[in-house]
Amino acid sequence: MAIPTEPIGSIPRPSQLLTMMSAYASGEVSDAELADAHDVAVADTVRRLEAVGSPVVTDGEQSKPSFATYPIAGLAGLAPDGVVIPFADGHQRQLPVLTKGPFRYQARAAQYFTAAAPHATVPVKQAVIAPSALSLLYPQAGIAGYSREQFLADLADEAEADIRGPLEAGAHVVQLDFTEGRLSLKLDPSGGVLDDFIALNNRVLERFTDDERARIGVHTCPGGDQDSTHSLDVDYADLLPKLFRLKAGNFYVQLASEADPERVLSAIAEHLPADTRVFVGVTDPIDPRVETAEEVRDRVLTAARHLPVDRLGTCDDCGFSPFADDTSTSREIAFAKIAARVEGTALAAKQLGLAP
């Protein structure tokens, strides 16, 4: 497409899959039965994304327990009382905490890519969790015999392998989910935690060549879970200068739900590195109202007033159901919003003279 457009990652799971996941948790279905249900949901997700014209598809994260915790599902040496993430509506998510080393991923993103790719006739992207998010697993009190420095070294190795797997398998792009970036400024307004996050992520990204980094992206948003966010009140102006220090070729920036998108676009234009592309959010997954194609078109045209069109793309603000138990948005609404994004982006490209 003249202006590329991509989904972020998660799509609400079909009710049949949610029922199977619940039955699996209670021991009523087998591993094989759950795997079959995952395969059916992935195939349907890819088919429906292609049906609404999406030029790039994902697996919809149908078989992930969450966008953040898929690498550690089943990991021994975890306790439940980790970092708490508070959302604006009062609900919380809580990460586990590591109790022993060495740290190793239990699942890798390549398995999700290879499950989706056979069903697709268009390029497939793969979302992975940024290593900075998983760095929160290490307890402040430390772990006897397993230093934080060794944990971070192990984490960097595991994160590199998680990115490299789908890249080498042929993924169109691998996207690091970095929602904790904006959240870090809420937890630590001094920016010290954000600096640590950027340094750790770059420690991994620097292991890739320029050509490989051209196929690696970073997604930022204020969180999206159960129709609420954890850091929408944090000023983007404090995040973007440091975000764009990440050594990636693509950035996916939540924008549709911003109160003053033109101010954010001005900041993007000021700080966006050369030879990178920015995908701006033009649909809001936690708003139940489906945007019209014309609204999306106008949001793209606004972005094009600030950014070079040859470095502009569009996306959804966030994934639609980043946690498997989030049913606040229906599958039908998600695909309707994606269809509006695709159509509206094409309308904008035509109006800008980039497409017939």
DSSP 133-196: HHGGGS-TT-BTTB-HHHHHHHHHHHHHHHHHHHHHHT-S-EEEE-THHHHHHHH-TTSHHHHH
Question: Quick one: pLDDT band at residue 227, thresholds 50, 70, 90?
Answer: confident
Question: Quick one: pLDDT band at residue 226, thresholds 50, 70, 90?
Answer: confident
pLDDT digits over 105-161, tens only? 999 999 999 999 999 999 999 999 999 999 999 999 999 999 999 999 999 999 999
pLDDT digits over 290-310, tens only? 999 999 999 999 999 999 999
Question: Quick one: pLDDT band at residue 62, thresholds 50, 70, 90?
Answer: very high
Question: Quick one: pLDDT band at residue 194, thresholds 50, 70, 90?
Answer: very high
- H-helix segments, 188-324: 192-205, 210-213, 236-243, 261-271, 293-306
Question: Quick one: pLDDT band at residue 69, thresholds 50, 70, 90?
Answer: very high
Share of the chain above pLDDT 70, in %: 100
**Whole-structure pTM value:** 0.96
Residues 6+ apart with CB under 8 A from 17: 37, 38, 40, 41, 62
Higher pLDDT, 12 or 326: 12
Question: Quick one: pLDDT band at residue 326, thresholds 50, 70, 90?
Answer: confident
Does an H or E element contain 216, and which? strand 216-220
What is the per-residue pLDDT for 1? 62
What is the per-residue pLDDT for 96? 95
Q: Region 177-192: what's the mean pLDDT?
A: 95
Please, what is the average pLDDT of the chain? 95
What is the per-residue pLDDT for 101? 95
What is the per-residue pLDDT for 356? 77
Question: Quick one: pLDDT band at residue 229, thresholds 50, 70, 90?
Answer: confident
Cα–Cα distance measured from residue 51 to residue 121, given in angstroms and rounded to the nearest whole number? 11
Q: Region 60-75: what's the mean pLDDT?
A: 93
What is the per-residue pLDDT for 355? 81
pLDDT digits over 248-291, tens only? 999 999 999 999 999 999 999 999 999 999 999 999 999 999 99
